[in-house]
Every structure is written in structure tokens, then in C-alpha cells.
Amino acid sequence: MTDSDNLEISRRRLLGTVGAAGAAGLVIGAAGGVGVSSAVSGDDGSGGSGSGGAQALTTVGATEVAFHGRHQAGITTPLQARGHLVAFDLAPGAGRKEAAALLRRWSATAKTLMAGKAPAGDTGIALDAGPSSLTVTFGFGRTFFDRTGLASRRPTALDPLPAFSADALDARRSEGDLWVQIGADDALVAFHALRALQKDAGDAARVRWQMNGFNRSAGATAKPMTARNLMGQVDGTGNPKPTDPDFDRRIFVPAGASGAEEWMAGGSYAVVRRIRMLLDDWEKLPQDRQEKVIGRRKSDGAPLSGGTETTELDLNKLGPDGKTVIPDNAHSRISAPEQNGGAAMLRRPFSFHDGIGPDGTPDAGLLFVCWQADPLRGFVPVQRKLDRGDALSAFIRHEASGLFAVPGGPAEGEYVGQRLLEA
């Protein structure tokens, strides 16, 4: 067998591994609930992150994600190793015409970059790299509709999220007219996309805020497995799976949507939150206390009620002391779908670390992104429950928030948002 044959086999293995959409997601939250998770799993049924599979690192750059499709890329796509979240506000005087032109430019650039090609006037930042699983996802904030004269087509699902008691939100790093999510398995490829889209914005839009994140790199573990968050917890258990019979109903707006939401068919709503983890406080807790806060073993993510990582929680199991093995205020208990009327969301976050503060504490945590067909039936009920008594709330702080309508994927020849902007 030749070297080229081996490379092609490795590439096919990689494509099969990262293409297996699965599930993951330990919700992390309290002072305004949080979802910590991996959006997809490996193909071994472990429920782990698709970016953690065993594959030759030389094949990572070859993976390409399609730009066109029923849904935008970056929702059920396996989590990538690097990510950027950025919000833009339309420039003063810019309206629907300018927004449409901008989305045309952005869509053309995203399509080119996701194919591993260089757009006109390229800077060469990612020269020699392949597509590296690059995805670019676009969304609209509530204010976008007023600025473009499209208020009558703003879905009610974009109504402002309710206030949560423990929020400490920075308005300067929240919301925005337009939102872009970038993910890639190579840092230069991700930055290249960010830089290209920023340049494309030109005079039409200005950056409102930007955040950088990361996940475990492809090939870092011997086999696909669930990643850990910055608290050291196995993080990615229990997300809805694309193979679930009700997955589309929970995550995507149906094709038969009508009225103000008609243009959102095949789309989803993204809740975006910057959640800082108070790591110094967390790391002072002995391991058994940490496990009771979460309700799962730290070693393997299995529930304290027994079994393996994917074993269902036994919320009624009692210990020798007569108390429930999974404490009443444990994060996993409070966020469990059966405790929240079946509320579900697809959590697809990135971790972040933005340096050490003057007091010596790390500015680190989770860039939480969750997807659902309706935030009022996904994020909000779970967040309200967490807000009332999650044991994890003492160790996290919600510092920024946004809600965005992410339309369905563009058909061949379309740009993202065309069904809204040209209706």
C-alpha cells in the first residue's frame, strides 16, 4: 500500500469521525444558567466531542464543511478546536440595502474560505492550510430589524430574554445587530476568516464585541471521548442528538413556519453568553464537594447514582444517610430535562482564557452557545430553574448575553438571509 493510499484512508476515517453528529452537554449555570457541552460525538457511541477523535494530525486540515444546505454550518457540525464569536452593529445611516450587500459579500467570502480557497485580495494568513473544518454562521439580533425597516418581520422568539437575578451583564459586550460564529480546527484558519469578514464589513458595519475560544484539538486523545471544561469536569453529556426523533422539532424552526417567522424555516435561535468561572474558588473545594455540586463523578462523568457517563440520572436514589445521592441543588439534577418540562437545547460552547487580572485571578470560563427552535421553550425555563438554587452558581458569573435569529442555510445561488432581506 502506498503512502498516498494510507493518506486517503486516514482522510476517509477523519471525515467519517467528524461527520458523526452526536451529543453532549453538561449544563453549567446558576446565576443565569449555562450550558457547557460538546455538540457532537465520535462514532463510538461515547457521547464525546467529535474534535477529540484519534486521527492522523496531517489529515485535520483536509476536512471541508459545505456552505450551502438546509441549515447553516456550525450548528450540528462537530466542535472545532478554535472559535471566534463577533457581533457587529450597522453603521449610522446603513439600512436594508447596505445590509443585503454586506450579507452577499460575507456569504461569498465564507463559501470560498470554507472550501479552503483564498478570496480576492487575500492576505495569505492561512496560506498552505486546508479548510480545517471551517464554519461561518450568521445571525440577526433584535435591533437589526428596526435599523433595516423590517420590524414587522421580527419573530416573537427574539423578544428580550428575561432578567436573571445573578446576571452581571456588560451591555458593551452583549447583543448586536449582526452575529457571526467562526469555528475551525486550525487557529490561523479561524483568524483568517475573522479578518476577512471584518474587512468585508467595510463602512456598512462596525464591530461591537469579539470573543475568542478554544476546545480540545483533534487527535489529542487516543480515542473519541467527552472533553473537559476548565473546571476539570467531563463536559458534554446529555445533549440532544441529531438521531433523536424529536431533534429537528426542538432545535430548528419547521419548514411550515408562517407569518413573521416564515423566513426562519430551517433556522434556529442562538443564545450566547460569556460565563466566567471563578476557578480559584472552585479549586479550593475537595473533589467530593465538587462532585456533589455537579452531581457527577469527576473521574469519568458518571452520575453519583451510579453507572457510566451515559447512564440516566437516578434522581430518587438514596444514600446510607437517607438523603438523595444526587443533592437537591446539584447542577445536573436542576438542569435535567425531566426537571424542566422536557426543555432541551443543543449546547455548543468554546472555553476562553483572556489573561490574568490585576488581582491574580484568571479571566477564564465558557463562551456558551446554545441552539433551539424557541428560546422560551429551551434556554429560558432551564435558566430560570438554575437561577433559583443551582449549587454551581457560587462559582460562575454571567458577564455578557445575546440572542440571535440564525436563518436556515442558503440554497445554491443564495446568500444567508436573502429570504428576509429580499422578500
Q: Which residues contact 21 (CB under 8 A, 6 or more apart)?
A: 39, 40, 41, 50, 76, 77, 78, 241, 242, 243
CA distance 77 to 182: 12
Q: How far is CA 128 from CA 62, 67, 81, 136, 189, in A?
A: 11, 21, 19, 20, 10
Active-site position among 235, 248, 387, 390: 235
347 three-class SS:
strand
DSSP class per residue in 25-47: -EE--STT--EE--S---TTSS-
* Three-state secondary structure readout of 181-244: EEEECCHHHHHHHHHHHHHHHCCCEEEEEEEEEECCCCCCCCCCCCCECCCCCECCCCCCCCCC
Spell 399-410 as b/e; 16+ CB within 10 A means b.
bbbbbbbbbbbb
By the 8 A CB rule, do 317 and 326 touch?
yes
Residue 170 annotated to the active site: no
Q: Which active-site residues does the annotation give?
A: 235
